[in-house]
Structure 1
Amino acid sequence: MAAQLKYIISHTQLPEQSVKNTVQLLNEDCTIPFISRYRKERTGNLDEVQIGEIVKYKEQFEVLEKRKNAILKALEAQDVLTPQLKQNIVAAPDLFTLEDIYLPYKKSRKTKAEKARQNGLESLAKIIMSQNTIDIESIAFKYVKNNVTSVEDALEGARHIIAEWINERTDIRNSIRYQLERFAIISTNAVTTKIKDEEAQKFRDYFDWEENLSRIPSHRLLAILRAEKEGFIRIKVEIDDDRALDKIERRFIKSNNACATHIEIAAKDAYKRLLLPSLSNEALQVAKEKADESAIEVFAKNLKQLLLGAPLGEKRVLAIDPGFRTGCKVVCLDAQGGLLYNETIYPHPPKNDSVGAIKKISSLTDAYKIEAIAIGNGTASRETEALIRKVHFKNDVQVFVVSEAGASIYSASKIAREEFPNYDVTVRGAVSIGRRLQDPLAELVKIDAKSIGVGQYQHDVDQTKLQKQLDLVVENCVNAVGVNINTASKSLLGYVSGIGPKLAENIINYRNENGVFLSREDIKKVPRLGGKAFEQGAAFLRIKAAKNPLDDSAVHPESYGIVEKMAKDLGKSVQDLIGNKALLQKLNLKNYCTDSVGLLTLEDIVKELEKPGLDIRQQAKVFTFNQNIKTINDLREGQLLPGIVNNITNFGCFVDVGIKESGLIHISNLSDTFVKDVNEHVHLHQQIIVKVLEVDVPRKRIQLKLHK
């Protein structure tokens, strides 16, 4: 435990007691949302990001320890584990150091050095390394026998052994590592046979590229690696060979005789054949891991903003999945997202039945008392939006254009088939578009986050790390908003702290068999939902119109007694406290502190009582694109256009201006001053005004500037 704490603290710089208590809570199977919200006294008020860092380095430490134990067992089996070697392994601070220590003991019999040893040349290698003889060839002659057919064979074999010794020296490896870390240059060259491929053109900037590896931005490195993977370029990672070799030779060559010459040859061989290939790959791997972390962070930020996007709320919605030849699929949803009706209209070519489509939309809007219309932003979106704006509605109906990224993934998924077994994928896709307007979070949790399309090279990064981070983002968002247990889907409930997919299914089954939950106490009746799961999840599960008003709040059931005492001290009921800021301000919170509940928790309770169940998300707003811009050919330099931020990267953000192609605001065009973080200037789905700087129609690229 002490070693683990030291490791985590060294990487996070968080207070020891906070780390210690957080690790204890994690070992007790507490979730990050629960710890950050309801155990602030124990963690010292760490937020979910800081707790996430503790989880990350806790897992890293466990991987390191597992590898150490495996190596110790392997060395014991070889009967080579000395007390000093064991001490070095136990003290290794990272995997690279650990593998360097283990390197001499995991030789393959196929190496040149091992073959030379089998030919009895190790003692000759030792003589050369001692550099005490002038006539090394005469000594080498004694080793000419069996498989060693000449003096040169003997000397070459000895040099192979020396090269391996040099390669295994930790100080040498660290010296090369340092040079790669500081001075490595990554360069690219095009594969000439593929330069003219159409797919290669998007990588043409990297056909002849050179940059310091330590300074290359995440997106550029991932692009270069993708280009290499697809066979369009070749990559090299290089340092100053003469400088690196000089450092190696100065550590070994202590004489001016023939032995020194052989050591010099062996050093060059070790560097070119063993050290540089291995350590340059390692340097590229480290750079790739950093690039992955950066890209995953971008994706996570985007996903969080998307999931916490403004919901319209419980309104009756008519949703349209637009199309030309196959028509526009129309569905009507009730305020809870239930499917009431579906039909297909054909207002666009080739049928062009716009009159019939307008009549149908008008009659459906009246019949189902529709309050808002959601139009998917894919093919035929602009034409469908223009059609809808020609409809004369009797009541005020808001019209929204909704991102349909991933809707097709959902419509063909097992979740969609379970929800709508009697409908085809087109109906399911339209339902998803409508529900996204009502509540983006509740609908998007049903889709694999990687399919939502708000990432940066998400298919090129470590998929396990990406999935873990995205799951964490979804979990944090779901629990930050809270879930209505009586209406939530199995997918949504599965992300609630302490619940998971199996208990979510049990909750749905219980709800179907017994009706709605009337109180949080009823949650304990769900099969296999024990005390731990209730502790972790109850406060994130809300029950509307419950007898106890606290059941529809973020106040944890373990704190109900505190609230009841507050009400009693004020001579009021708990209901009287709800929303009564003036009354709550009369409380002296210090009177309610205990060994386990401090001011941090009490302040949270009071904030929640002031505005119980408050949705942290903003409300959805109607947005209208420039109706004169239909395609990229309509764009002109200098135009000012309304747009919506639809993706954020480290190098800028992409903006939907109402056409098929999104425009890019490069980070340098977000402000007239230096921009460190794109997220400080824009957020996902933000409605902004942009200026068109450049339009490249052949490459379908649009350069924009944020207009203040």
Structure 2
Amino acid sequence: MPLISYIISQTKLPETSVKNTVQLLNEDATIPFISRYRKERTGNLDEVQIGDIVKYKEQFEALEKRKTAILKAIEEQGALTPELKQKIEALQDLTALEDLYLPFKKSRKTKADTARQNGLEPLAKIIMSQNATDVESLAYKYIKGDIASAEDALEGARHIIAEWINERTDVRNNIRQQLERFAMIATKVVKSKSEDDNAQKFRDYFDWEESLSRIPSHRLLAILRAESEGFIKFKIAIDDDTALSKIEDRILRSNNECSQHIQMAIQDAYKRLLLPSLSNEALQNAKTKADEAAISVFAKNLKQLLLGSPLGEKRILAIDPGFRSGCKVVCLDAQGGLLYNETIYPHPPKNDTIGAIKKISSLTEAYQIEAIAIGNGTASRETEAFIRKIRFKNDIQVFVVSEAGASIYSASKIARDEFPNYDVTVRGSVSIGRRLQDPLAELVKIDAKSIGVGQYQHDVDQTKLQKELDIVVESCVNAVGVNLNTASASLLSYVSGIGPKLAENIVKYRDEHGAFSSRSAIKKVPRLGDKAFEQGAGFLRVKSIKNPLDDSAVHPESYAIVEKMAKDLGQNVSDLIGNKTELQKLNLQNYCTDSVGLPTLQDIIRELEKPGLDIREQAKVFTFNQNIKTISDVQEGQLLPGIVNNVTNFGAFVDIGIKESGLIHVSNLSDTFVSDVNAHVSLHQQVIVKVLDVDIPRKRIQLKLHK
């Protein structure tokens, strides 16, 4: 089956759309570029659909690569027949391909190999024919060398038969079906570890049994982590008698001495070869599904986090709060540049509240501060209460900002390069302030896995996780657009077609030659060719006096169309920007060509109506209940304001202003069945919750979403 047919069979998308998208991908076009600027060629496919094409394209190519390797390996063994080659080439399933390759795949010497070397394969064939009447007498003929008795000969023959049974595709598929439908995963605590403090978080799984096909992803990942840390042991099991019976039904044709030996071989094949191999395969399949579910949760959370509400270009005073070590204070300009840093000590043990108030008051005036950002770590609530006591001359908004990953950034090479003369505490405070200005621009500098907005993200396939998170970051960055003259190299590296090396070249060129005056000026950057410009230009923004389109999502390849529109209306291009009345006079059919159709033209009109519109909402001030300072203040029945700080498949965690986040279990999100937590809450959403239960010893708070 050719590539296009394979993708269509998996996605059910139109052939023309698939064919053109694959062609664009082969031309090194990116998903954001294709979905935004090549709608006519793809049939208006969105990023998700194009992402599916990419996935199945890679899957097909991996399958073809494996086929080539297997064909080569079998050919080197001198065992490749035309029929076998045809079978291999026709397969479209990796599991079936590996089953077919199994008889030729010998990584180590098996018991059956030893038996064959001892000349016992003819005896095995006689037994498998199920016609012989005196098998033991026949076995005496094979006594020689390492075979000292008839029983040794029969045992060796059974090893060969067991291997034949193990290699039968129908038998393997039958066991697979039973594992898929009926497998149970059962756990037992390791008694010597049961009282370990670290084991207590897994105590729900000290004695647990559940269907492998129905176990939720978070539970399976928790069990696997508990097992890897040595707190529990688990096994995958099905009904052995049923499984053996089904194998016998497929193989046994008589009831004689031969069948007795075959039964013994079946039991050996099942316990030694089939069950260990296929139960491990079933577990890996379950783990793959759990990984996909966990990665999906992480990806959704990351997208919501990256598209969090920015305050915009405001002058910020940012505080990384602390007690003994003090509160690290920085002042930032509207573009996030560091203007000043200081440490204040408003809390115990120094309690220099008066001095801290004077310092904050003078800084807000000196640097014309418009907003204050406070990290949500240690001493956050106390620092917020302290700041709110200050009477500022101007109206200054106060925000509590997530610190997740800030320490990772502050110790990173990116931070050291940005602030070589400052320590990690200053860099962390800068990151907190910049997150308020623009969460996306700051968070792209941090390894997404360190942000902590997923479930068991360190237990899933790290390659798949990284790939999915990179796709999410790329999608978010290009959906928002990037200011070419202020963006960091980290942010620019995610722009379609740019990448890390070109991003560094852009920043270096900008530092040496000053701000870019237009989009086209980026072509002067070393090693940035026409392809990179085509892919990235539409996602870059330049506040250009010469051409207002440079600060829009209109691609330079479409500037001529806008100029024609303006000319037809007797206007300048700048007169069309935001002029909905004039734009509605246009008949878009007049501007359609072989390569530009209505989807692109409609996008152009929408962009001209609201050029550079940020798809994100603006940041809003949020205030926690000031009477709740520790978990001891939380009482059953209370209604509390909170912010969703993590979403998982089993519920959402909510920050209610104290160290411990509360959990809204999936069953408490709605009075009706909830299949998708994200349909009810999203990351950083401001909510009202009702306290259902407070477990102080275990530091757990159960909440219900209050409508």
Task: Name the counterpart of 1:373.
Answer: 372
What amino acid does structure 1 have at the position aligned with 2:607?
A: E
The answer to whether the 8 A contact 1:494-1:503 is kept is yes
1:341 aligns with 2:330: no
Deviations 1:336-355 (A, max 9, x none): 00000000001111111111
The match for 1:404 is 403
Indicate yes or no: 2:175 matched with 1:170. no
2:557 equivalent in structure 1: 558
Partner of 1:419: 418
Separation in 2, partners of 1:243, 1:634: 57
| Aligned equivalent of 1:144 | 143
Matches within 5 A, 1:179-218: 179-218=178-217
- Give secondary structure in 2 for the equivalent of 1:341: strand
Cα distance between partner residues in 2 of 1:181 and 1:592:
56
Does the CA-based 8 Å contact 1:108-1:114 persist in structure 2? no
Which residue number corresponds to residue 253 of structure 2?
A: 254
**Counterpart AA for 1:532:** K
Secondary structure in structure 2 of the residue aligned to 1:21 = helix
**Distance (whole Å) between structure 1 residues aligned to residue 108 and residue 202 of structure 2:** 42
RMSD between aligned alpha carbons? 0.8
Secondary structure of 2:61's aligned partner? helix
Q: Aligned runs of 1:303-702 on 2, under 5 Å?
A: 303-702=302-701
Task: Return the letter of the residue paired with 1:600.
Answer: P
User: 1:401-456 CA distances to partner (integer Å, 9 max, x unpaired)?
Assistant: 00000000000000000000000000000000000000000000000000011011
Q: Give the match's secondary structure for 2:663.
A: strand
| 3-state SS, counterpart of residue 498 of structure 1 | coil
SS in 1 for 2:524: coil
Bigger drift between 355-364 and 299-308 goes to 355-364
Deviations 1:305-335 (A, max 9, x none): 0000000000000000001111000000000
For 1:474 and 1:480, the matched residues in 2 are separated by 10
1:52 to partner: Cα distance? 1.0
Give the TM-score normalised by the residue count of structure 1. Answer: 0.99
TM alignment of 1:248-327, pairs within 5 A: 248-327=247-326
What does residue 88 of structure 1 align with?
87
Give distance in 1, aligned partners of 2:143 and 2:318: 86
1:501-530 C-alpha deviation (Å, 9 max, x unpaired): 111111111111111111111111111110
Q: Once structures 1 and 2 are overlaid, which stretch shifts more, 691-700 or 11-20? A: 11-20
Shift of residue 107 of structure 1?
A: 2.3
The structural deviation recorded for 1:545 is 3.6
| Contact 1:109/1:115 (<8 A) preserved | no
Match of 1:223 in 2: 222
Q: How many angstroms does 1:56 deviate by?
A: 1.1
Equivalent AA in structure 1 for residue 74 of structure 2: L
CA offsets, 1:214-264, max 9 Å, x none? 111111111011011111111111111111111111111111101000000
**How high is the sequence identity, in percent, across the aligned residues?**
81
Instruction: Kindly provide the CA deviation profile for residues 447-483 of structure 1, in whole angstroms up to 9, marking residues without a partner as x.
Output: 0000011011000000000001101100000000000
Distance 1:11 1:552 in 2: 39
Shift of 1:108: 4.4
Q: How many residues align?
A: 707
User: In 2, are the aligned partners of 1:410 and 1:447 still within 8 Å (CA)?
Assistant: yes
- CA apart distance, 1:76: 1.0
Contact kept, 8 Å, 1:382 with 1:630, in 2: the verdict is yes
The answer on whether the counterparts of 1:640 and 1:690 sit within 8 Å (CA) in structure 2 is yes
Report the CA distance shift for 1:108/1:26 in structure 2 as closer, same or farther (over 3 A): closer
| Corresponding position of 2:78 | 79
Match of 2:271, SS state, is: helix
CA distance in 2, matches of 1:62, 1:74: 18
8 A contact 2:518–2:544 mirrored in 1: no
SS of alignment partner, residue 235 of structure 2: strand
Secondary structure, in 3 states, of the residue corresponding to 1:645?
A: strand
State how far apart, in whole Å, the 1-side matches of 2:683 and 2:633 are. 25
Q: Which amino acid aligns with 2:681?
A: V
* Greater Cα offset, 7-16 or 528-537: 7-16
Q: Is the 8 A contact 1:402 1:437 kept in 2?
A: yes
Contact residue 546 and residue 552 of structure 1 kept, 8 A:
no
Q: Once the two structures are superposed, what CA deviation does each residue of 1:649-703 show, in whole Å capped at 9, x if it has no partner?
A: 1111000000001100011101111111111111110001000000111111110
Q: CA deviation at 1:109?
A: 5.0
Structure 2 unaligned runs (5+)? none
Check the 8 A contact 2:332/2:340 in 1, yes or no.
yes
Does residue 60 (structure 1) correspond to residue 59 (structure 2)? The answer is yes
Q: 1:146: how far off?
A: 1.2
Instruction: State the secondary structure of the residue aligned to 1:280.
Output: helix
Q: Please, what TM-score do these two structures have when normalized by structure 2?
A: 0.99
Q: Is the 8 A contact 1:645 1:686 kept in 2?
A: yes
Post-superposition offset of 1:110: 2.2
